[in-house]
Amino acid sequence: MLKNYIKMALKVLVRRKFFTAISLFGVGFTLMVLLVASALLDHVLAPLPPEVNMDRTLHVTRMQMWGGSEDRQSVWSGSPGYGLLDRYCRDIPGVEKFSICTTGHHIVASFLDGEKVVSKLRRTDGPYWEILDFDFLEGGPFTHEDDEQANMVAVINEATRHRFYGGEPAVGRAIEADGQRFRVVGVVENVSITRTTAFADIWVPHGTARSQSFRKELMGDHQGLMLARSIDDFAAIKAEFISRLPHVEFTEPWHTIKGQPLTLVEAAALQLGNVQVDQEPPVYLLVLMGLGIVAAFLFLPTVNLVSINLSRIIERSSEIGVRKAFGASSGHLVIQFIVENLVLCLVGGLLALAGAAVVLELAEGSGVIPHAEFHLNYRVWFYALGLALLFGLLSGAYPAWRTSRLHPVDALRGGAR
């Protein structure tokens, strides 16, 4: 029976070319925009190299510190300092590996043949390279010992190798950044700037900083990465971290500090919900906002497609009347029109995939997002199928219901109730 419905749907689409063209344009364009947005979100949040372990990684990226007297309170909200992370985040049960790195990339300048070259530099440690899975094109990462001994070594990305050495081998060669001279020990593939934990042009050890005063700071510009053995350990890890905060040793005038390790999604929800750093992140708000945006974007195209489908039904009223007169049930007609609409939306989904592939390729080639590589992977294909089916059901349900209410006599006269 379903096979017959699909055959009939394809014949109807071919027979009514005008309605089909208008419908396919609306469906295809709407789904293309949603697919491009889905691909961008997938590029930012999905477990892609080098952030392949983000599903079991907790981040300590935001803390709040209170100070002053009862009548005059001061609050310092921002990134934790190296000193806080180093003294109170290590050796937490359930944490397999722990790393400290700077929160973002620092802009540093170099001079090559008399011209200024700007790069993004991140300071980190040995375990950073064990939590994140970088693809090394040359050499390898620096180690914990390099950080401890303040060895002037660096890992660079492929783009930096091309800028400084014209794509020739870089390991063992010198590179100058921010007035310091480093020896290149590894070259990694470019990482997109949207990968906030992994992105940089140059990575160097903490120990190479000119001043080591940052090692005592409770607040600063660092973040902690906790690789858990399992996501089942998250609750215990968070509880242990929070239990250590009352024992933090402060300098005047500070006396209280709050915060917690979070996943990337929880951290985004915390910012969106504008709640305290030690409260439960309202992840549901993030989900509701995403669903709301999708629903708002689908609303107008769905209404337009419903109108087109109703016009198509009225045009076919004589056919519907004949089928009803020969015993076709309302249920059969409902299924037929829903299948027709689903077939239309699935064809529109295929066109949307092709259009999204072109748009993403243009976006990647434009360089608007440095080192971005967009792929229509299986997750995006799944999004396309789900959106096409959802769009088909939403826009086909009401016309199908109207179809089931047509009386055979009214339908044969070309009218509808």
Model confidence pLDDT, tens digit, residues 150-164: 999 999 999 999 999
Give the angle 407-411-414 at the CA atoms, nearest 5°: 150
Of 172, 174, 154, nearest to 164 by C-alpha is 174
Pure H helices in 56-120: 82-88
The rounded distance, in Å, linking the Cα atoms of 392 and 339 is 9
Cis peptide before 50 (omega within 30 of 0): yes
DSSP letter string, 268-287: HHHHHHT--TTSPP-HHHHH
Structure token digits, residue 12? 């109807």
The rounded distance, in Å, linking the Cα atoms of 415 and 394 is 24
Per-residue pLDDT for 414 more than 60?
no
For residues 31 and 352, is the Cβ–Cβ distance under 8 A?
yes
* pLDDT of the residue at 417: 44
Which of 60-74, 247-261, 310-324, 347-361 shows the lowest mean pLDDT across its residues? 310-324
Residues 6+ apart with CB under 8 A from 357: 376
Q: What is the pTM of this model?
A: 0.79
The rounded distance, in Å, linking the Cα atoms of 283 and 268 is 8
Q: What is the largest CA-CA distance in the chain?
A: 91
The domain limits of the chain are: 2-47+285-412, 62-261
For residues 394 and 298, is the Cβ–Cβ distance under 8 A?
yes
Residue 232 or 343, more confident:
232
Cα dist from 68 to 64, 244, 269, whole Å: 14, 22, 29
Per cent of the chain over pLDDT 90 is 43
How does DSSP classify residue 167? T
Mean pLDDT score of the chain: 84
User: In angstroms, how far is CA 340 from the centroid of its own chain?
Assistant: 34
Model confidence pLDDT, tens digit, residues 341-396: 788 788 888 888 889 889 888 887 777 777 777 777 777 777 777 777 777 777 77
The rounded distance, in Å, linking the Cα atoms of 170 and 184 is 6
